[in-house]
Amino acid sequence: MQNATYTPRMEGLDALRGFALFGIFIVHMPELFELYWAHPATDPLQLAVHDAVWLVFAGKAFALLALCFGVSFFIIMDRAARRGVDFTGRFVWRLALLAAMGLLHGLWYRGDVLEVLAVMGLFLLPFYRVRSNRVLLAVAVFFLLQPLMLVRIAFALGGAGWANQPLGYWSATIPQVYLDGGFLDTLRMNVVDGHGFKWLFMYESGRLSQIVGLSLVGMVLGRIGFFSRPEAFARARVEALLVALVGALALYFGREPLAQLVPASAAMVMPRALAGAVLGSLFDLAVMAVLMLAFTTAYYGGAGRALGVLAPAGRMTLTLYVLQSLLFVPVFYGYGLGLHASMTQVQALALGLVAFAAQVVFAHLWFRRFYYGPLEWLWRAGTYLTLDVPFVKRRGRVEEGVAA
């Protein structure tokens, strides 16, 4: 059996992952775990709060999580390789376990991303053996530019009927059962309709392509020691932050005028709409880069103690991500409190901030006693097919090891 002992952490990466988890949660709360779209805000204040959250975190926190996923992939594979172990087969099994957890979680909340990350993680395996970082970054850029959308734009401009059909998820509505149905009805809807809709959205919106590209970027960051040797990148982080900030501002003001340059007519509406979607995706990536680089620059530049408060949450991202929906889906859905119709955006944001602060406190208290979050321990034990994985900390005993 491979070594399954406790692994020392990169606190900066954990803190960044905790920040990504915060961003995802702080989107889910005003979104009322997808039920916001049943009755969007019209009051100026509520709409402003919603738009502010969306501008900063929607699509960006998810992208940041995908990037961290790529970093973690490299760390796991590299640590095994340093011991002379080919971890490929076991990593596939690890992804299968994550997919299984995602399928179970998806019964509760159709917006689950664990299954999606698990499936797309398979695409990283052949790229791990590519030694050139330039090649990896070139492939990453290819996927981040949304090649399938660009191909569809080209065909749509050429008059292809299929390419000028609206995207399927555009016409989707919130299932009524989520608003006023019972638990079993909601579960059935998640199985019958929710699972397929999730994959349709991920495909048509370009999220699948984005996950691959960002995971490859994360793998390169892991390979060059961006988190293990942060002092070597102090100047590069600042320079990259300035470039990302300029890019984000340029796309914020220029994406709509640029999209308007694409030809459009009553029979050919998709090229311009898809061009706007591609530019919107690039804007999300630019803002994500600003968030990541600003966070790491601050963390390694003197604010590590303050931002490090998020590290324990980052160490149990899997557990907290699932826990968030287990607790708050019933708050908004019909089979629970049904607050989707009455909670304002300000209230949802305030509740989200308080709830995440409670999660951070919980994580700090948890790691005083345990090495891993409960789902993290289960995932690790399942990966190695053994229960002999340290879980409870014991006084006077030091666990060592560098296993993934």
Q: How is 306-319 classified by DSSP, letter by letter?
A: HHGGGHHHHHTHHH
Q: Please write the tens of the pLDDT for every residue from 45-72.
A: 999 999 999 999 999 999 999 999 999 9
Q: What angle do CA 343, 59, 277 make, to 5 degrees?
A: 115
- How far is C-alpha 312 from the chain's CA centre? 18
Q: Is the pLDDT of residue 243 over 50?
A: yes
**8 A C-beta contact, residue 92 and residue 184:** no
Q: Please write the tens of the pLDDT for every residue from 188-199.
A: 999 999 999 999
Q: Is the pLDDT of residue 206 over 60?
A: yes
Give me the domain span that covers residue 264.
Answer: 55-306+328-350
Q: Please write the tens of the pLDDT for every residue from 102-152.
A: 999 999 999 999 999 999 999 999 999 999 999 999 999 999 999 999 999
Tell me the H-state helices in 261-310: 270-298, 304-307
Number of H helices, E strands in the chain: 19, 0
Q: Is residue 101 one of the residues assigned to a domain?
A: yes
Whole-number pLDDT of residue 398: 45
Q: What is the pTM of this model?
A: 0.92
User: How far is Cα 324 from Cα 373, in angstroms, rounded to an integer?
Assistant: 14
Q: Is residue 382 one of the residues assigned to a domain?
A: no
Query: Where do we find the tokens 């949450």?
Result: 313
Q: Is the pLDDT of residue 4 over 90?
A: no
Structure tokens, 312: 């324990």
DSSP lists the bridge partners of residue 265 as: 268
Q: Is residue 194 one of the residues assigned to a domain?
A: yes
Q: Is residue 189 one of the residues assigned to a domain?
A: yes
What's the mean pLDDT when you consider all of the chain? Answer: 93
DSSP lists the bridge partners of residue 392 as: 370
Q: Is the pLDDT of residue 7 over 90?
A: no
Structure tokens, 205: 């919106």
Q: Domain tally for the chain?
A: 1
Q: Is residue 95 one of the residues assigned to a domain?
A: yes
**8 A C-beta contact, residue 391 and residue 377:** yes
Q: Nearest Cα to 29, choosing from 334, 398, 353? A: 353
Q: Is residue 12 one of the residues assigned to a domain?
A: no
Q: Is residue 399 one of the residues assigned to a domain?
A: no
Cβ neighbours of residue 308 closer than 8 Å, sequence gap 6 or more:
11, 15, 299
Q: Is residue 293 one of the residues assigned to a domain?
A: yes
Backbone angles phi, psi at 215, to 5 degrees: -65, -35
From residue 355, how far is each of 19, 49, 348 by CA, in Å?
Answer: 14, 18, 10
Query: For 7-11, 214-218, 260-264, 272-276, which range has the lowest pLDDT when averaged over its residues?
Result: 7-11
Whole-number pLDDT of residue 396: 52
Q: Is the pLDDT of residue 394 over 50?
A: yes
More confident residue, 403 or 208: 208
* Count of alpha carbons within 13 angstroms of residue 142, beta-carbon side: 7
DSSP lists the bridge partners of residue 337 as: none
Contacts 24+ apart (CB under 8 A), 258-266: 262/153, 262/157, 263/157
